[in-house]
Amino acid sequence: MIIGIATALLTSALNAVYMYRKDRREETETAAKLKHLEEHNE
């Protein structure tokens, strides 16, 4: 039972880290796309 709880907590922690990194990647990508569009619209 304790192993199951530990596994669930570890999985949740890893998922939270992955989601945080994914959000950061998407934010960087969106900023780059916006900058690219702004440069071409001038």
- For the segment 5-37, what is each residue's pLDDT rounded down to a tens digit? 999 999 999 999 999 999 999 999 999 999 998
Dihedral sign computed on CA atoms, order 8, 12, 14, 18 = positive
pLDDT band at 41; cut points 50, 70, 90: confident
Token pair 């907590």 is found at 9
pLDDT recorded at residue 21? 96
Task: Give pTM, 2 decimals.
Answer: 0.64
- C-alpha to C-alpha distance for 24 and 10, rounded to whole angstroms: 21
